[in-house]
């Protein structure tokens, strides 16, 4: 995400303006009847944790790992596989994270930018109804598994799944906003709403007070008013903490999903703004400035792994890295490599792999979960990352031809499918 302040404000207004109340699912949509085979879905398969660290770069992480400053990520590198992640143009987070979730390229999945413009002139922020390809949460749910995703880009309106989705919109919203479709099942919204009211983050306030975490430079901070800049920091970083609280609430109170995905955006935000406080334009100097943020994410990884339980396959990845474009640190023109690290029972130990592509993640996840990979994805799974040489199972497609542009049609159709599986009444 490029958190341009003025743009973020208008984007948010647009999103708020197009919220439509959830009326068709009510609260009776929680699956009471398990679909056939679901009891055995997890048998003999390790669960998968997919942690997205938007904007994380090896150039900054490597010096920190060598200093021992990122113990959890360092351990994953030593005990698992790691690689550069090839990013792509347009290097926009909403596009790239949708590529990760679908295994398809932007021209196939349809999320091609932050905004859409209809022929009628109607425009607004891209959301899940503009996506033309099924995402991992739907494919896993249909197969009888449980998927839980929190804070992933373009997941509002939240689609019906076996498990849960807390959309990116949830963390953006204010408590008084209409939260319809911000999460699925809809009864989650009442449970999670208190998290929205509390954006207090002791970690952030302490670091700012101690001068260890720089927030916005004079150049990018607008009017130079310190209090104003701090409020903006609370707004951006605070959204992430809302998502994290939702994630841990669900991991503690719901059955652990077979696939849990969480997207964290702090590194991207910090990299866009904090590099200007470094002593020089070199990666080591900037990595020292970004250190508290990378360390926070390293600790978050540790907490998520613990919450998932033992023997989990963990994949940590970023959609792009950062590099110098002209005289500023950015990613939008050159799509610099991000990171890919994976460790757990199904991954090789201590192996450096050639570059991984964003669209290789979804097929790899499906294969690990014992599900078929579809030939209409942009590539197959990265079997060179895996310990087992179990053959890849293929199907032509996971698509059902659902028309996502027509929201009510799409919702009815998916709902019918879920109903036919027996877990929506
Ligand atoms: Zn990004």
Q: 313 C-alpha to center of ligand 1: Å?
A: 23
In this predicted structure, the answer to whether residue 27 has a pLDDT above a threshold of 60 is: no
In this predicted structure, the answer to whether residue 244 has a pLDDT above a threshold of 60 is: yes
Question: Which residues are CB-neighbours of 325 under 8 A, at least 6 positions away?
Answer: 331, 332, 333, 334
Here the tokens at position 198 are: 């509390």
Q: Which residue has the tokens 């085979």?
A: 37
Least confident of 115-129, 150-164, 228-242, 298-312: 228-242
pTM score, two decimals? 0.84
Q: 348 C-alpha to center of ligand 1: Å?
A: 27
Q: 92 C-alpha to center of ligand 1: Å?
A: 6
- 344 close to 80: Cβ distance less than 8 angstroms: yes
pLDDT digits (tens, 9 = 90+) for 189-201: 999 988 777 767 7
DSSP collapsed to 3 states, the chain = CCCCHHHHHHHHHHHHHCCCCCCCCCCCCCCCCCCCCHHHCCCCCCCEEEEEECCCCHHHHHHHHHCCCCHHHHHHHHHCEEEEEECCCCCCHHHHHHHHHHCCCHHHHCCCCCEEECCCCCEEECCHHHCCCCCHHHHHHHCCCCEEEECCCCCCCCCCCCEEEECHHHHHCCCCCCCCCCEECCCHHHHHHHHHHCCCCHHHHHHHHCCCCCCCCCCCCCCCCHHHHHHHHHHHHHHHHHHHHHHHHHHHHCCCCCEEEEEECHHHHHHHHHHHHCCCCCHHHHHHHHHHHHHHHHHHHHHHHHHHCCCCEEEEECCCCCEEECCEEECCCCCCCEEEEEECCCECCCEECCCEEHHHHHHHHHHHCCCCEECCCCCCCCHHHECCCCCCCEECCCCCCCCCCCHHHHHHHHHHHHHHHCCCC
User: Residue 96's pLDDT is what?
Assistant: 98
User: Residue 221's pLDDT is what?
Assistant: 47
Q: 5 C-alpha to center of ligand 1: Å?
A: 16
Superfamily of the domain at 12-421: Alkaline Phosphatase, subunit A (3.40.720.10)
Least confident of 25-34, 82-91, 174-183: 25-34
Residue 24 pLDDT class (50, 70, 90 cuts):
very low
Q: Which of 22-36, 145-159, 160-174, 270-284 has the highest mean pLDDT?
A: 145-159
Least confident of 21-25, 72-76, 80-84, 351-355: 21-25
Q: 89 C-alpha to center of ligand 1: Å?
A: 12
Measured CA to CA in angstroms, residue 277 lies from 56, 89, 175, 289, 328 at distances of 18, 28, 34, 7, 12
Residue 402 pLDDT class (50, 70, 90 cuts):
low
Q: 322 C-alpha to center of ligand 1: Å?
A: 9
Least confident of 87-101, 178-192, 264-278: 264-278
* 46 vs 208: which has the higher pLDDT: 46
Q: 410 C-alpha to center of ligand 1: Å?
A: 28
* 348 vs 29: which has the higher pLDDT: 348
Q: 43 C-alpha to center of ligand 1: Å?
A: 35
Can you give the residue ranges of every domain in the chain? Answer: 12-421
pLDDT digits (tens, 9 = 90+) for 370-400: 999 999 999 999 999 999 999 999 999 999 8
Q: Round the average pLDDT of the chain to a whole number and report it.
A: 82
User: Residue 275's pLDDT is what?
Assistant: 82
Q: 40 C-alpha to center of ligand 1: Å?
A: 36
Q: 99 C-alpha to center of ligand 1: Å?
A: 12
In this predicted structure, the answer to whether residue 223 has a pLDDT above a threshold of 70 is: no
User: Residue 162's pLDDT is what?
Assistant: 96
In this predicted structure, the answer to whether residue 139 has a pLDDT above a threshold of 70 is: yes
Q: 91 C-alpha to center of ligand 1: Å?
A: 7
Q: 154 C-alpha to center of ligand 1: Å?
A: 13
Mean pLDDT of 174-188: 86
Counting beta carbons within 10 angstroms of the beta carbon of residue 248, is it exposed (0 to 12), middle (13 to 18) or buried (19 or more)? middle
Mean pLDDT of 109-118: 85
Q: 264 C-alpha to center of ligand 1: Å?
A: 10
Q: 152 C-alpha to center of ligand 1: Å?
A: 11
User: Residue 109's pLDDT is what?
Assistant: 96
Mean pLDDT of 272-294: 86
User: Residue 174's pLDDT is what?
Assistant: 76
Q: 228 C-alpha to center of ligand 1: Å?
A: 25
Q: 219 C-alpha to center of ligand 1: Å?
A: 22
Q: 54 C-alpha to center of ligand 1: Å?
A: 4
Mean pLDDT of 54-74: 96
Q: 311 C-alpha to center of ligand 1: Å?
A: 29
Q: 319 C-alpha to center of ligand 1: Å?
A: 5
pLDDT digits (tens, 9 = 90+) for 42-60: 777 899 999 999 999 999 9
Least confident of 6-10, 118-122, 363-367: 6-10
pLDDT digits (tens, 9 = 90+) for 411-421: 333 334 334 43
Q: 55 C-alpha to center of ligand 1: Å?
A: 5
Q: 134 C-alpha to center of ligand 1: Å?
A: 21
Residue 327 pLDDT class (50, 70, 90 cuts):
confident
Q: 62 C-alpha to center of ligand 1: Å?
A: 19
User: Residue 158's pLDDT is what?
Assistant: 93
């Amino acid at each position: 995400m490029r958190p341009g302040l003025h743009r973020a404000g208008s984007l948010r207004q647009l999103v708020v303006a197009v919220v439509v109340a959830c009326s068709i699912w009510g609260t009776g949509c929680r699956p009471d009847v398990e679909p056939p085979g679901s009891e055995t879905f997890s048998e003999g398969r390790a669960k998968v944790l997919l942690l997205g660290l938007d904007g994380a770069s090896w150039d900054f992480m490597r010096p920190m790992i060598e200093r021992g400053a990122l113990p959890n990520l360092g351990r994953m590198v030593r005990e698992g596989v790691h690689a550069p992640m090839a990013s792509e143009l347009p290097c926009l987070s909403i596009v790239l994270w949708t590529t990760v979730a679908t295994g398809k390229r932007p021209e196939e999945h349809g999320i091609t930018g932050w905004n859409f413009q209809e022929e009628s002139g109607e425009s607004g922020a891209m959301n899940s109804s503009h996506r033309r390809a099924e995402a991992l949460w739907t494919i896993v749910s249909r197969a009888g598994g449980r998927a839980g995703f929190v804070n992933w880009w373009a997941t509002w309106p939240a689609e019906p799944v076996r498990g849960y989705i807390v959309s990116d919109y949830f963390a953006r919203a204010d408590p008084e906003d209409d939260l319809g479709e911000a999460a699925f099942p809809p009864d989650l919204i009442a449970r999670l709403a208190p998290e929205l009211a509390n954006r207090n983050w002791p970690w952030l306030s302490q670091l700012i007070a101690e001068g260890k975490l720089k927030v916005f430079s004079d150049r990018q901070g607008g009017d130079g008013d310190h209090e104003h800049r701090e409020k903006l920091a609370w707004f951006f970083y605070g959204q992430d903490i809302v998502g994290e609280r939702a994630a841990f609430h669900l991991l503690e109170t719901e059955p652990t999903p077979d696939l849990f995905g969480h997207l964290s955006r702090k590194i991207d935000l910090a990299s866009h703004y904090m590099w200007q406080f470094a002593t020089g334009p070199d990666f080591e100097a900037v990595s020292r400035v970004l250190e508290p943020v990378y360390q926070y994410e390293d600790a978050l990884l540790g907490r998520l792994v613990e919450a998932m339980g033992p023997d989990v396959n963990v994949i940590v990845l970023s959609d792009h890295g950062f590099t110098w474009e002209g005289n500023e640190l950015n990613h939008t023109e050159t799509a610099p490599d991000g990171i890919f690290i994976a460790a757990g029972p199904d991954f090789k130990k201590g192996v450096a792999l050639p570059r991984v592509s964003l669209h290789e993640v979804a097929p790899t996840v499906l294969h690990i979960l014992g599900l078929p990979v579809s030939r209409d994805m942009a590539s197959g799974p990265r079997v060179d990352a895996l310990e087992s040489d179990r053959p890849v199972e293929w199907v032509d497609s996971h698509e059902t031809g659902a028309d996502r542009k027509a929201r009510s049609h799409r919702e009815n159709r998916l709902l019918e499918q879920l109903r036919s599986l027996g877990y929506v009444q």
